[in-house]
Amino acid sequence: MAQKTYAITGVSNGIGRELAGLLKEAGHRVVGLDIAEPAGPVDQFIALDLSDAGSVKRAAAEVPDGLDGLCNSAGLPPRPGLETKILAVNFLGTRSLTNLLLPKLGEGASVVNLASRAGHGWRDAIEQIRRLAALDLGGNIEGFVAQEKIAPVRAYDLSKEAVILWTMASSENYLNRRRRINSISPGAVETGILQDFETAFGERMTKNVERAGRAASPKEIAHLAAFLLSPESNWVKGTDITIDGGMSAFQASDVLSLSDILLG
């Protein structure tokens, strides 16, 4: 297999770190972007603060041309006091960086965005997502948070709803440029910020994990991201793929009483 070059945000921890390892094992070059320098091997590290417009522009300028793919793995959890940064990092900064890197993506390149099951309520939040998407990274995000009365959990959910819709909305533009974009929506993942999610989502998350048997490992999510970056997935375009150990299926079955109807 020919060597390719992939950029990964959030490369220092969790899914991003595991993805970097998988790509390096496969013989590819990895350009890692994060606030903290990664302990694991990358071919080039670029400091990046996705909540800062200047940092995003500087980092984008350092990324080499001819990328074969970009995985946007960086993100913040629903932690109190971080509402503005959650929206900036998880969506607005990620979108800004990706738009700046679009000219550096080679023909056939793939973009993979890490969304979340928490973003699956986007159908009920279209207008709020539109209002968020109208902001720039350097805009008055704090004012938006205050006006919309956004709590930490809502900030996280909204950021991931926006990622899913942005991915869908970008798909045809990417296709016309002979590139593609998809998103991944994990359920609970055993990373360093899992406790933040357990605290924020409480019983709603605990029950899902119990029914699935465990949380996902970061590497399980990274394997899917690696596939979506690869040419082998070239007909997967504009799609959000849920990877949650069956959690979404359990929820849908409960709501629709499917077990009573279909299992006999």
Q: CA-CA distance, 19 to 13, in Å (whole number)?
A: 10
Do the Cβ atoms of 113 and 171 come closer than 8 Å?
A: no
Q: 10: pLDDT confidence band, cut at 50, 70 and 90?
A: very high
Give the SS3 label for residue 1.
coil
pLDDT confidence of 147, banded at 50, 70, 90?
A: very high
Percentages (nearest 5) of helix, strand, coil residues in the chain: 55, 15, 30
How does residue 261 score in pLDDT terms, banded at 50, 70 and 90?
low
Q: Which domains does the chain show, CATH number per domain?
A: 5-262 (3.40.50.720)
Distance CA 113, CA 85 (A): 18
Helix (H, G, I), strand (E, B) or coil at 177: coil
| Residues 68-80, mean pLDDT to the nearest whole number | 97
The mean pLDDT of 174-183, rounded to a whole number, is: 97
- The answer, as to whether pTM is greater than 0.85, is yes
Q: Which amino acid is at 243?
A: I
In this prediction, residues 94-99 reach a mean pLDDT of 98
Place of tokens 């593609």: 180
Spatial separation of the C-alpha atoms in residues 101 and 96, rounded to whole Å: 9
Give the span between the Cα atoms of 123 and 55, in whole angstroms: 32
Cα 155 to chain centroid distance, Å, stands at 14
Q: List all residues 6 or more positions away from 205 whose beta carbon is below 8 Å from its beta carbon.
A: 188, 197, 198
Q: What are φ and ψ of residue 243, in 5° steps? A: -135, 95
**Chain segment 98-131, per-residue pLDDT in tens:** 999 999 999 999 999 999 999 999 999 999 999 9
State CA 229 to chain mean position distance: 13
Q: At what angle do helices 203-212 and 194-201 cross, to 10 degrees?
A: 120
Mean pLDDT over 48-66 rounds to 98
